[in-house]
């Protein structure tokens, strides 16, 4: 049993006392099974506050943690406990942090979703996130209140296999690249625009960031003749906040590159000059390895790829990320694969890999269809049947002059009281008591703009039978404008789901035959392609209340999400601190006079 | 007894039932003294949210109420009850509203000061402000959390004399002008700058607003030859959000102009072309009327002036507000006194009145010394002696690289739990239990920059004896830079004070002889001049916890304030809703398991 404090080894003093304990522990361990893991407790004290930062060379304000942007990286082993004591040092805003991909079994109040799992932490107050990271994988964390993710509240969370366990692939070194997109307009202003009548769209990001670093107004690759932007070569010493995060590698080794996307909007594609990648992990679950020249990654997704440094070691190579699925107006994010013999300022011989056309959806689908689960003890097989199937049609709508996204014509508007408390304590005024629709019942042509674009807001819950198997069909449609259907990556909290299949047009029962029941990828985020559908299956085995939503930040802000709940009466005692607002706060106070 | 709902007369139905009640009430009234007033209940439903607005012609984001900027005007009679049901529709920020000048007798939880009188209202939640407006006068309201006043959260609150009462002066019509200053940088960004290391000052405002209306990048008075700015004449139809609020008057009448300043920074001076003003009210208390050509008004102050429309009615006249006490970089705010025979677009013959030089402090002091209380039944006389005298030296300091303002070397840092709850329930961890210093003990040369500029933050409370008479000497000093001392208007919550005198340099006991004990103005805001002192006296007769601070928003943000408390055990039952955060929230929840 080890304890780490702020990532530093535990106090080196008291060595004598420790020795005694060590001997005692050894004795105890001898009496345990040989496979028993040493689980650790990782304690972090974090303070969230706004600070000046230059994510892309232009100074701006970001939401940082302990003076860092992105926030500190959490690194633990499967089975460890992570304890983040989060202090809100913002002046007037609440804050929460969601641990994306961590299922929070037994700790649903630590999921970090304001209005769902907890009350936002008030300025000056502290909340203790304590949870087990039960499975190795590539994760990240981010704000989940208003648009604080867009404000820069995010960081990486890497879970290694437990001691004594092994990954089903080998590598000599690793890197993690957390991808995001950045606007020069503050998240506050973005929010006002989205909530205004008429809505003002946030537009495309000004820059793409790799580990919080991007370049605006200049290019790392300006000198190639095929760079047809008018950008000049960036003048970078390497010490700037916006200097690229360079991957320094030895030749003839295998590196694991962990990729996570916490973009607010952008779907990205990564390519590495002269190198292929072997994709081995998605969202914390192993994949059947497959080789690829480029990889699509949507907001909310994680991948691990293996890269062999088998190319000419006297050269460096570009790593590029470009926008897909929306017409790009943002330059590629670039950094270097730097073979150590070379200076990091040595430019590659060739220009950066070209991102596939943004609307080459055949390319996207071909990639997605290669993503299949590895046959591995950590990955369950999907149940062959379902208890309940919910079809979620997403539409873009108008409401009273506002623009909204709706699911089965209900646009999510989160309540002031966290659902976890409202459901647990039967506070019927906490949210809409009518169950939201299981389907979009009226005949609806998904290929056309809505005939009646009106919608309403709501915040009902899909109550799921505990341990029931649930199918969700995510059904895409045409937006308000003609001939446009967008890409939406949907993220489920508290669970992984099997992605049984993707299809075109409106889902029909006949499409079931095409489901992949053999090795569907098991993950927490899945994309719906334009005019298409995506079929998911999961087991409602995690007592709690869980958000399920488009991971595009402005889309969620405009209502594109639903709320699921299961087994809430089985949740252990919820810490009062999680429920001190709204009706739960009021209920706590009733009858308690000093 | 009448009831008004959102300013509309109460339901006209149930007339029969009402008749019975009226007769009953008449009978009751007959048995009461002839002077008994008919007090009314004014109910308002307000929603606070950000919205696009063009306060000065440049579109920006403001914090509005019910879609208005400034917020709606409250108008009531002395003795009435005002009930504002405030819903927070911000996405991630708490909110409160302070009713500036209303003493909140018996309702200290309705003072609207976050961390002091209540918890900030969470997004999606509602708080009921219910209080009596016990005295006629010119007041206003504004945000009192973070820098939300700077974000535009303010409006006017006008209290007329009770039915049957009369003002000690007469007038034929009235106007109210709420003055503010405006920055193009958001209050959020301003806050980050002030809290950064090194501090980034907000600079001078881009424009001055009269009832939320100003002009940036053009001038209403560009065509006069002595306008030496390069601004062009504003092109205004009158329907713009930033079109000036014009005062339309009949000739040969007397108008009351109510002036309130809720500026974040600017001290202002008003002049009206060709007209003199007679000053009759300050902060809700009558003054010995005096005539003046121009009037200084500091942030937090209110005045009423009487103006006779005795000039050539075929002309219009400028009303101008210019910056004083800081080197101005902001154009005058302008509007017109428009004699009704003329078009509002007819420009006055002469250019706008010139604002006295910003650093002509002799002029400021001469004006201030004319402000004396009227001998009137509503204004008490000051007690001739005091029980306790607190000397508050304000200094500009450095702390760990941050810039702070301190009072007796303590820079106010508000706690997460409202003092009202912490004190009432004896929660000793709610704030520093050491009483802040009564004086600045070490020899201190107020004419020089601090020898040791270091300071510390704190949040202790000056606990005052209930009904004790307290003197406060506000002592100014040199700031960090040589040869600079600034002007600070200090505002006391929950009380009025007598302004016994102003003086130069460091206050000494001998200065007491110069105190004006005969007719000191009775008000809630008083200025300290550069390198000077201001002596105040008040009676601690209002159970509650009260902020006392520099009304310059960034100065308060940087710590320039103190907290006073008296008779907290006499406060009636505090609504739980006011105390649902921090330690009071936790205490409410303890032992209350479902």
Q: Who contacts A230 (Cβ-Cβ below 8 Å, separation ≥6)? A: none
Does the pLDDT at position B370 exceed 60? Answer: yes
Could you tell me if residue A14 is inside a domain? yes
What does each C-alpha distance from B558 to A94, B413, B561 come to in angstroms? 21, 8, 9
Q: Which two tokens stand for residue A43?
A: 């304690």
Are A146 and B414 in contact (CB < 8 Å)? no
Are A92 and B94 in contact (CB < 8 Å)? yes
Q: Which of A53, A588, A593 to mutate to test the interface with B (most CBs of B within 10 A)?
A: A588
- Domain edge (last residue) among A321, A343, A370: A370
**CA B569, B571, B577, B579 torsion-angle sign:** negative
The neighbour count for residue A526, using CB atoms within 10 Å, is: 28
Could you tell me if residue A377 is inside a domain? no
Nearest to B580 among A49, A50, A589 (CB): A589
Q: Nearest-5° angle of CA B428, CA B432, CA B434?
A: 100
The neighbour count for residue B372, using CB atoms within 10 Å, is: 18
Which residue is closest to A593 within chain B, CA to CA? B588
Are A94 and B587 in contact (CB < 8 Å)? no
Q: Who contacts A19 (Cβ-Cβ below 8 Å, separation ≥6)? A: none
Helix locations, B425-510, DSSP H = none
pLDDT digits 0-9 by tens, B4-16: 333 333 333 444 4
Instruction: Determine phi and psi for A27, rounding to 5 degrees.
Output: -60, -45
Are A192 and B50 in contact (CB < 8 Å)? yes
Could you tell me if residue B381 is inside a domain? no
Nearest to A580 among B123, B186, B585 (CB): B585
Q: Which two tokens stand for residue B562?
A: 């103190």
CA distance B430 to B417: 6
Query: How many Å lie between the alpha carbon of A132 and the closest alpha carbon of chain B?
Result: 25
| Cis ω for the linkage preceding A449 (within 30 of 0) | no
Name every chain A residue with its beta carbon within 8 A of the beta carbon of B578: none
pLDDT the model gives residue B18: 46
Nearest to B92 among A49, A50, A145 (CB): A145
**B251 and B115 fall within a common domain:** no
pLDDT the model gives residue B81: 98
Are B577 and A586 in contact (CB < 8 Å)? yes
Q: Which residues pair with A271 in a beta bridge?
A: A294, A320
Contact A114, A576 (CB under 8 A): no
Q: What is the mean pLDDT of residues B554-578?
A: 97
Which residue is closest to B198 within chain A, CA to CA? A52
- Helix axes A582-589 and B582-589, enclosed angle (nearest 10): 60
Q: Which residues pair with A173 in a beta bridge?
A: A255
Name every chain A residue with its beta carbon within 8 A of the beta carbon of B573: 593
Q: What is the DSSP letter of B512?
A: G
The gap from C-alpha A234 to its chain's centroid, in whole angstroms, comes to 30
Stretch (H or E) spanning A15: helix A15-30
**B512 and B561 fall within a common domain:** yes
Query: How many Å lie between the alpha carbon of A543 and the closest alpha carbon of chain B?
Result: 18
Does the pLDDT at position B3 exceed 70? Answer: no
CA distance A297 to A288: 17
Name every chain A residue with its beta carbon within 8 A of the beta carbon of B123: 94, 120, 416
Are B581 and A51 in contact (CB < 8 Å)? no
**B196 and B289 fall within a common domain:** yes
Q: Who contacts B272 (Cβ-Cβ below 8 Å, separation ≥6)? A: B307, B317, B318, B319, B320, B337, B353
Q: Which two tokens stand for residue B2?
A: 């009448």
Confidence band of A442 (pLDDT split at 50, 70, 90): confident
List, as one string, the DSSP characters of A462-497: EEE-TT-EEEEEEE----SSTT----EEEEESS--E
Are A594 and B581 in contact (CB < 8 Å)? no
Nearest to B416 among A119, A125, A146 (CB): A125
Contact B236, B201 (CB under 8 A): no
Could you tell me if residue A489 is inside a domain? yes
Going by C-alpha positions, the residue among B400, B558, B364 that lies closest to residue B479 is B558
**B153 and B208 fall within a common domain:** no
The size of the A-B interface in CB pairs under 8 A is 131
pLDDT digits 0-9 by tens, B308-319: 999 999 999 999
- Domain edge (last residue) among B133, B160, B187: B160
**A196 and A319 fall within a common domain:** yes
Provide, rounded to the nearest whole percent, the portion of chain B with pLDDT above 70.
92
Q: Which of A63, A147, A184, A188 to mutate to test the interface with B (most CBs of B within 10 A)?
A: A188
CA distance A231 to B424: 63
Going by C-alpha positions, the residue among B496, B490, B170 that lies closest to residue B304 is B170
Are B120 and A124 in contact (CB < 8 Å)? no
Are A119 and B122 in contact (CB < 8 Å)? yes
Query: How many Å lie between the alpha carbon of A421 and the closest alpha carbon of chain B?
Result: 11
**B348 and B320 fall within a common domain:** yes
pLDDT the model gives residue A589: 75
**A183 and A228 fall within a common domain:** yes
CA distance B58 to B221: 19
Please, how many CA atoms are within 13 Å of residue B459, restricted to the half-sphere of its CB?
19
Name every chain B residue with its beta carbon within 8 A of the beta carbon of A192: 50-52, 61
Q: Who contacts A192 (Cβ-Cβ below 8 Å, separation ≥6)? A: B50, B51, B52, B61
Name every chain B residue with its beta carbon within 8 A of the beta carbon of A415: 124
CA distance A518 to A515: 9
Which residue is closest to B127 within chain A, CA to CA? A582
pLDDT digits 0-9 by tens, A38-89: 789 999 999 999 999 999 999 999 999 999 999 999 999 999 999 999 999 9
Are A188 and B61 in contact (CB < 8 Å)? yes
- Domain edge (last residue) among A324, A344, A370: A370
Does the pLDDT at position B167 exceed 90? Answer: yes
Are B92 and A424 in contact (CB < 8 Å)? no
The strand pair at A488-492 and A525-528 is best described as antiparallel
Q: How long is chain B?
A: 594
pLDDT digits 0-9 by tens, A482-528: 999 999 999 999 999 999 999 999 999 999 999 999 999 999 999 99
Contact A493, A411 (CB under 8 A): no
Q: Which residues pair with B45 in a beta bridge?
A: B85
- The mean pLDDT of chain A is 93
Q: Which two tokens stand for residue A310?
A: 């088998």
Are B581 and A125 in contact (CB < 8 Å)? yes
Rounded to whole angstroms, the maximal C-alpha distance in chain B is 77
Could you tell me if residue B592 is inside a domain? no
Contact B381, B375 (CB under 8 A): no
Confidence band of B29 (pLDDT split at 50, 70, 90): very low
**A395 and A354 fall within a common domain:** no
Could you tell me if residue A381 is inside a domain? no
Of the listed ranges A27-31, B83-87, B243-247, B554-558, the least confidently predicted one is A27-31
**A336 and A468 fall within a common domain:** no
Which residue is closest to B196 within chain A, CA to CA? A51
Name every chain B residue with its beta carbon within 8 A of the beta carbon of A582: 122, 124-125
Contact B528, B391 (CB under 8 A): no
Query: How many Å lie between the alpha carbon of A430 and the closest alpha carbon of chain B?
Result: 12
Q: What is the mean pLDDT of residues A289-306?
A: 98
Could you tell me if residue B379 is inside a domain? no
Confidence band of B36 (pLDDT split at 50, 70, 90): very low
**B177 and B153 fall within a common domain:** no
Q: Which of B67, B96, B588, B591 to mutate to test the interface with A (most CBs of A within 10 A)?
A: B588
CATH number at residue B53: 2.60.40.420
Nearest to A589 among B416, B576, B582 (CB): B576
Higher pLDDT, A31 or B155: B155
Could you tell me if residue A93 is inside a domain? yes
The gap from C-alpha B456 to its chain's centroid, in whole angstroms, comes to 28
Query: How many Å lie between the alpha carbon of A443 and the closest alpha carbon of chain B?
Result: 35
Are B580 and A585 in contact (CB < 8 Å)? yes
The strand pair at B126-133 and B80-88 is best described as antiparallel
Nearest to B589 among A50, A93, A580 (CB): A580
ipTM (interface predicted TM): 0.92
Does the pLDDT at position B33 exceed 70? Answer: no
pLDDT the model gives residue A328: 94
Q: What is the mean pLDDT of residues A348-354?
A: 96
Q: Which two tokens stand for residue A318?
A: 């570009």
**A145 and A245 fall within a common domain:** no
| Structural domain that includes position B330 | 173-370
Going by C-alpha positions, the residue among B66, B107, B585, B419 that lies closest to residue A582 is B585
pLDDT the model gives residue B442: 74
Contact A132, A79 (CB under 8 A): yes
User: How many domains does the structure of chain B reveal?
Assistant: 3
Q: Nearest-5° angle of CA B455, CA B147, CA A49?
A: 70
The strand pair at A302-308 and A294-297 is best described as unpaired
Q: What is the DSSP letter of A368?
A: H
Q: What is the mean pLDDT of residues B209-216?
A: 98
Provide, rounded to the nearest whole percent, the portion of chain A with pLDDT above 70.
92
Q: Spell out where A196-293 has E strands.
A: 207-210, 218-219, 232-233, 247-249, 254-261, 267-272, 277-282, 285-292
**A575 and A528 fall within a common domain:** yes
């Amino acid at each position: 049993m080890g304890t780490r404090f702020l990532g530093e080894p535990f106090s080196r003093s008291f060595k004598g006392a420790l020795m005694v304990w060590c001997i005692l522990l050894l004795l105890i361990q001898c009496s345990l099974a040989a496979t028993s893991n040493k689980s650790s407790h990782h304690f972090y004290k974090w303070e969230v506050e706004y600070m000046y930062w230059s994510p892309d060379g232009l100074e701006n304000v970001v939401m940082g943690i302990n003076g860092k942007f992105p926030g500190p990286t959490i690194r633990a082993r499967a089975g460890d406990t992570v304890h983040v004591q989060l202090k809100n040092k913002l002046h007037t805003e609440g804050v929460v942090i969601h641990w994306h991909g961590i299922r929070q079994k037994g700790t649903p109040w630590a999921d970090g979703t304001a209005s769902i799992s907890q009350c936002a932490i008030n300025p000056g107050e502290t909340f203790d996130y304590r949870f087990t990271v039960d499975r190795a994988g590539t994760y990240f964390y981010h704000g989940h209140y208003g648009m604080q993710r867009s404000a820069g509240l995010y960081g990486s969370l890497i879970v290694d296999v437990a001691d004594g366990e092994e990954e089903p692939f080998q590598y000599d070194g690793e890197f993690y690249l957390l991808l995001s997109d950045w606007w020069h307009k503050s998240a506050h202003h973005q929010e006002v625009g989205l909530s205004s009548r008429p809505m003002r769209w946030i537009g495309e990001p000004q820059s793409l960031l790799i580990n919080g670093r991007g370049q605006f107004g200049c290019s790392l690759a300006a000198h190639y003749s095929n760079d047809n932007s008018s950008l000049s070569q960036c003048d970078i010493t390497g010490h700037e906040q916006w200097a690229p995060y360079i991957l320094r590698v030895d030749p003839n080794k295998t590196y694991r590159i962990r990729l996570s996307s916490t973009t607010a909007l952008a779907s990205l594609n990564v390519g590495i000059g002269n190198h292929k990648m072997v994709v081995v992990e998605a969202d914390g679950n192993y994949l059947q390895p497959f080789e690829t020249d480029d990889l699509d990654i949507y907001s909310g997704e994680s991948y691990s790829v293996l890269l062999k440094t088998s190319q000419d070691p006297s050269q460096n190579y570009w790593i590029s990320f470009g926008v897909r699925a929306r017409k790009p107006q943002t330059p590629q994010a670039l950094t270097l694969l730097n073979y150590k013999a070379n200076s990091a300022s040595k430019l590659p011989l060739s220009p950066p890999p070209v991102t596939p056309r943004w609307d080459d959806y055949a390319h996207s689908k071909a990639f997605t269809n290669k993503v299949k689960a590895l046959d591995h003890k950590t990955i369950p097989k999907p149940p062959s049947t379902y208890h309940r199937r919910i079809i979620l049609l997403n539409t873009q709508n108008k409401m009273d002059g506002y623009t909204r996204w709706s699911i089965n014509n209900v646009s999510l508007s989160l309540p002031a009281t966290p659902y976890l408390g409202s459901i647990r304590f039967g506070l019927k005024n906490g949210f809409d008591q009518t169950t939201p629709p299981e389907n979009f019942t009226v005949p609806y042509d998904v290929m056309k703009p809505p005939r009646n674009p009106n919608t309403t807001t709501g915040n009902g819950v899909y109550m799921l039978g505990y341990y029931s198997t649930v199918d969700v069909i995510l059904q895409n449609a045409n937006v308000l404008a003609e001939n446009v259907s967008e890409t939406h990556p949907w993220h489920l909290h508290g669970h992984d789901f099997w992605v049984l299949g993707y299809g075109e047009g409106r889902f029909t029962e006949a499409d079931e035959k095409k489901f992949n029941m053999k090795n569907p990828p098991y993950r927490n985020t899945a994309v719906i392609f334009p005019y298409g559908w995506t079929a998911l299956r999961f087991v409602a085995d995690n007592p709690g209340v869980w958000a399920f939503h488009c991971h595009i930040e402005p889309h969620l802000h405009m209502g594109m999400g639903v709320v699921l709940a299961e087994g809430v009466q089985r949740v252990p005692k919820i810490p009062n601190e999680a429920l001190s607002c709204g009706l739960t706060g009021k209920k706590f106070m009733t009858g308690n006079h000093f």
